[in-house]
C-alpha cells in the first residue's frame, strides 16, 4: 500500500475567492496536509457559483484559475500544475514532495455559449469539465432538471462534447440529469469521469448514479470518484459513516469492476458537519486506506481506490 492520494474534486478554489489561502486551517483541503503524503494529486474545480458572477461566468472562471495559479506561483516548490501525460509521469517519478494540481471546471455555463472560450480554457490548462451544475445551462440539463428531450444535451452541448473529445478535455458527468448523461454517452468517443458521485441503489439521491450508469461508465473505460458528502451516502445522515462510505466503494467495485473506482472528496464544497466523521480534512484520508484494508480489500485494491485507477485513467486520457 502506498501513501498516495488522487482526488478528483474539491471546491477549495471558491474558498480562495472569499479570501482564504491554500493553507487556511478553516478549509477542509490544505497544501500542508497534502504534503504529508508521498504524492497528492488534487483536481481543483472552478465552480461557477452564481453569487460571484459579476462580469459573466467566463470572467468568474478565469478569476478562479488566476487564484489557483497564483497559489502555485507562490508555492512553486510545493505545487505543480499538470496538463499532459508527460508531466503526469514526471510528477510521479520525481523524488521531492509536491502537490500535483489538475484544473477543472464545474458548470460549463462559463463557456457563455462560445466554442472559442473552450479553446481558451484549454490553453489556460483546464483538463476536465463538468458540463452542468444541478440546473440547466446552454449545454445540458443538470440533476434538478426533468428527463425530457428539452433538458438533455443541446445542439451546442453536442458541439462542446465533440470538441472536448478532440482537444483531450475529460467530460465530467457528475451533475448531469439522467437524460443528459445518456445523451453524452451516445456521442462521446472518449471515456468519461463522474468526479464526485455515489450510488443511487444505496442512497436514492438525484446526484447519485444508478447501477446502469455505473456499468456504462465502466464499460466505456471511465472512472467514478466517490464523494464524502453525508447526504449522498445515506438518506438518514446519522448513519452516513465511514462504513457506509465503504459500502458505496464496494458497490461500485462490484458493479463497475475494480478499475473504475476512485476518490472525489468534494472537500470545501460542504459544511464540516456534512463530511463523513473521521475524514473531516485531507490529513485524514489515510484513515480511509486503513479502514478499507480492515474491510478486506487487498493492498493492491486499496491502492487502486486511493489513487492508482485515477492515475491510469489520466495517463490514458491526458494527451
Ligand atoms: Zn459538485
Which pLDDT value is given to residue 266? 98
Q: With bands split at pLDDT 50, 70 and 90, how would you rate the model's confidence at 59?
A: very high
**85-133: pLDDT as tens digits:** 999 999 999 999 999 999 999 999 999 999 999 999 999 999 999 999 9
What is the percent of the chain where pLDDT is above 70?
100
Q: What is the average pLDDT score of the chain?
A: 97
Distance CA 69, CA 63 (A): 10
* pLDDT score for 310: 98
Distance between Cα 50 and ligand 1 center (Å): 14
C-alpha of residue 106 to centroid of ligand 1, in Å: 7
Q: Cα of 294 to ligand 1 centre, how many Å?
A: 29
Model confidence at 76: pLDDT above 90: yes
Ligand 1 centre from 94 Cα, in Å? 31
Q: What pLDDT, on the 0 to 100 scale, is given for residue 147?
A: 86
Q: Is the pLDDT of residue 50 over 90?
A: yes
173 C-alpha to ligand 1 centroid (Å): 10
Measure 234 CA to ligand 1 centroid, in angstroms: 17
**CA 96 to ligand 1 center in whole angstroms:** 31
> Which CATH number does the domain 4-317 belong to among 3.40.50.150, 3.20.20.140, 3.20.20.70, 2.130.10.10?
3.20.20.140
Distances (CA, A) of 282 to 12, 27, 37, 64, 279: 12, 10, 10, 21, 7
Question: pLDDT tens across 144-198, in order?
Answer: 998 888 899 999 999 999 999 999 999 999 999 999 999 999 999 999 999 999 9
What's the rounded mean pLDDT across residues 281-289? Answer: 97
Other CB atoms within 10 A of residue 22 CB: 26
Q: Based on DSSP, count helices (H) and strands (E) in the chain, helices before strands.
A: 13, 9
> How much is the pLDDT for 259?
97
| Alpha carbon of 47 to ligand 1 centroid (Å) | 8
* pLDDT tens column, 222-235: 999 999 999 999 99
Q: How confident is the model at residue 37 (pLDDT cuts 50, 70, 90)?
A: very high
* Ligand 1 midpoint to CA 241 (Å): 20
pLDDT of residue 1: 86
Cα 42–Cα 219–Cα 265 angle in degrees, nearest 5: 25
Q: Is the pLDDT of residue 56 over 90?
A: yes
Strand partners, 46: 105
Tell how far the Cα of 93 is from the centroid of ligand 1, in angstroms.
31
Q: How far is the CA of 182 from the centre of ligand 1 (A)?
A: 19
Domain boundaries, the chain: 4-317
Cα of 196 to ligand 1 centre, how many Å?
7
Distance 199 CA to ligand 1 centre (A): 15
| Residue 296: CB atoms within 10 Å | 9
Report the pLDDT averaged over residues 201-207.
Answer: 97
CA of 175 to the centre of ligand 1 (A): 7
Amino acid at each position: 500500500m502506498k501513501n498516495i492520494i488522487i482526488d478528483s474534486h474539491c471546491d477549495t478554489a471558491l474558498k480562495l475567492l472569499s479570501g482564504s489561502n491554500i493553507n487556511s486551517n478553516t478549509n477542509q483541503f490544505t497544501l500542508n496536509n497534502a504534503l504529508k503524503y508521498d504524492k497528492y494529486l488534487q483536481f481543483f474545480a472552478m465552480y461557477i457559483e452564481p453569487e460571484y458572477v459579476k462580469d459573466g461566468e467566463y470572467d468568474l472562471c478565469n478569476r478562479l484559475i488566476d487564484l489557483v495559479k497564483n497559489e502555485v506561483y507562490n508555492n512553486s516548490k510545493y505545487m505543480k500544475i499538470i496538463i499532459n501525460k508527460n508531466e503526469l509521469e514526471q510528477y510521479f517519478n520525481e523524488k521531492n514532495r509536491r502537490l500535483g494540481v489538475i484544473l477543472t471546471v464545474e458548470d460549463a455555463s462559463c463557456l457563455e455559449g462560445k466554442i472559442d472560450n473552450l479553446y481558451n480554457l484549454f490553453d489556460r490548462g483546464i483538463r476536465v469539465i463538468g458540463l452542468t451544475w444541478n440546473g440547466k445551462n446552454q449545454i445540458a440539463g443538470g440533476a434538478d432538471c426533468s428527463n425530457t428531450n428539452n433538458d438533455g444535451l443541446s445542439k451546442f452541448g453536442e458541439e462542446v462534447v465533440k470538441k472536448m473529445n478532440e482537444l483531450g478535455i475529460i467530460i465530467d458527468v457528475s451533475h448531469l440529469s439522467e437524460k443528459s448523461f445518456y445523451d453524452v454517452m451516445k456521442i462521446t468517443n472518449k471515456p468519461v469521469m463522474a468526479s464526485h458521485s455515489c450510488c443511487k441503489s444505496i442512497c436514492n439521491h438525484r446526484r447519485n448514479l444508478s447501477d446502469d450508469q455505473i456499468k456504462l461508465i465502466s464499460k466505456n473505460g471511465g472512472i467514478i470518484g466517490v464523494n464524502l458528502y453525508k447526504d449522498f451516502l445515506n438518506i438518514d445522515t446519522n448513519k452516513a459513516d465511514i462504513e457506509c462510505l465503504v459500502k458505496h466503494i464496494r458497490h461500485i467495485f462490484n458493479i463497475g469492476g475494480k478499475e473504475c473506482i476512485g476518490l472525489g472528496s468534494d472537500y470545501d464544497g460542504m459544511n464540516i458537519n456534512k463530511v463523513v466523521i473521521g475524514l473531516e480534512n485531507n490529513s485524514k484520508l489515510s484513515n480511509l486506506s486503513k479502514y478499507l484494508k480492515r474491510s478486506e480489500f487487498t493492498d493492491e485494491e486499496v491502492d487502486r481506490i486511493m489513487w492508482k485507477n485515477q492515475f491510469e485513467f489520466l495517463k490514458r486520457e491526458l494527451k
